[in-house]
Structure 1
Amino acid sequence: MTATKPDQDVIDLLVDQHEQIRSLFAEVRESEGEAKQQAFQDLVRLLAVHESAEEQVVHPAARADAGDAVVDARLREESEAKRELSELYEMGTSAPGFDARFAAFEQAVLDHARHEEQEEFPQLRRDTDPQRLRQMAGAVRAAEAISPTRPHPAAGESPVSNMLLGPPVAVFDRMRDAVRDWRQSHDSEHQSHGR
């Protein structure tokens, strides 16, 4: 997924993911058959990592800086995107009507990313300590670490494979839990070191 740069902050990391998401949308649009299905699955995984990190780490931090209205609007957009993604998943990439619905979904997700980049991220960068922004990137990296780009055929029924399989809502829930667990353990470490 995202190239690892240890000094990269969470905003730069999420903007890089926005670019990857744009590329995956194009790949789904331009592919057919199994390649289209695989690109769609890759998109689901990346959106799960991305939105889980935003929901658990970025939006709570941005609420104080960007305000409730901005963050609540992003959360509504994400909720609608998850619902639409689930419906697309149920349809299947080869279903009649998939491409038209997928195009509308793509536009909504790209609008959401633009809103984040223009409304939420600049205020977060301005009002948050740069070291804290780099620490927040750890949650995104933790989610990426358990979300391989493509499951290895020999992975079988491993916990990671199971985390990445199933309807998008289940994948999103499992990724959100993984990010939350990382954040809680990371916050505990900082509290114990601060004593």
Structure 2
Amino acid sequence: MDAIDLLERHHRELEQQFSGLKEASSVSSEQFSAAADLLATHITIEEQHFYPAVRAHRTEDILLESLEEHLSLKRVLADLVALDTTDEKFGPKLHVLAEQLEHHHKEEEEHLFPKVKKLLDDGAREELGQTMQARMSELRQGEPRKLVLDQTDEAAPLA
């Protein structure tokens, strides 16, 4: 699958899950864990594979901003992972996370992805997508939401 198509599909899935969570009258820890794992997996494949593969002078500024947005997402996600879903702070933090997520996706889709389509041909995007899917499968074997707990001090480096 094309890397951009994969990420856009993932964006819609994340938005749907977090929108459903923030609108729910109550959220179970299992529901939140599934959404949090999906988000952590998405952030990881972007930072480890997509961003390094598309790094170029024409994308560096967008990528650095995206990494800072990831840091913000990780911080709120880490706060949520540490809270019980019944805590009074859980709902407001979840709402903030969902809003930040939508903003981040919009930025990537409007500014980064069009540049990447010019930088990488179809074959390169397909190969990158396969690599990203393989990493996603690996991450799903564990609890990727817990990875972000140690990633909240500073933005990930742009490899």
Q: TM-score range by the shorter chain?
A: 0.7 to 0.9
Give the counterpart letter for 2:66 in structure 1. R
Seen in structure 2, the aligned counterparts of structure 1 residues 90 and 170 have a Cα distance that, compared at 3 Å, is closer
Q: Alpha-carbon deviation of 1:171?
A: 9.2
Q: How far apart in 2 are the matches of 1:28 and 1:38?
A: 11
**Which of the numbers 120, 124, 128 marks the counterpart of 1:136?**
128
Instruction: Name the structure 1 match of 2:43.
Output: 51
Q: Give the Cα–Cα distance (whole angstroms) in 1 for the partners of residues 53 and 80 of structure 2.
A: 31
Partner of 2:82: 90
Change (3 A) 1:66 1:120: farther
Cα displacement (A) at 1:60? 1.5
Cα distance in 2 for partners of 1:171, 1:12 equals: 29
Distance in 2 between the 1:61 and 1:169 partners?
Answer: 22
Tell me the residue number matched to 2:104: 112
The alignment's TM-score, normalised by the length of structure 2, stands at 0.84
The one-letter amino acid of 1:13's match is L
Per the alignment, residue 164 of structure 1 pairs with 143
What does residue 39 of structure 1 align with? 31
Contact 2:45 2:136 in 1 (8 A): no
1:50–1:171: structure 2 CA closer, same or farther, 3 Å change rule? Answer: farther
Higher RCO (Cα < 8 Å, 6 or more apart): 2
Letter in 1 for 2:64: D
Deviation at residue 131 of structure 1 after TM alignment: 0.4
SS of the aligned residue for 2:88 comes to coil
Q: Partner of 2:55: helix, strand, or coil?
A: helix
TM-score (norm 1): 0.70
CA drift of 1:26 comes to 2.2
Task: Give, in whole Å, the separation in 1 of the partners of 2:148 and 2:107.
Answer: 23
Cα 1:68–1:166, aligned 2, differ >3 Å: closer, same or farther?
A: closer
Give the direction of change, closer, same or farther, for the CA distance of 1:145–1:10 in structure 2 (3 Å limit): same
CA distance in 1, matches of 2:4, 2:144: 28
- Alignment-mate amino acid for residue 5 of structure 2: D
- Structure-2 separation of matches of 1:68 and 1:166: 27
Displacement of 1:78 after TM fit?
Answer: 0.2
2:28 match: secondary structure: helix
* Secondary structure, counterpart of 1:42 in structure 2: helix
Write the deviation string for residues 27-74 of structure 1: whole angstroms up to 9, x where unpaired: 3224455x5322211111111221111111211222216422111000
1:74 and 1:131, CA in 2 relative to 1: closer, same or farther beyond 3 A?
same
Structure 2 CA distance for aligned equivalents of residues 86 and 164 of structure 1: 13
Give the CA RMSD over aligned residues. Answer: 2.1
Larger radius of gyration: 1
Equivalent position amino acid for 2:146 in 1: P
Aligned positions, number: 151
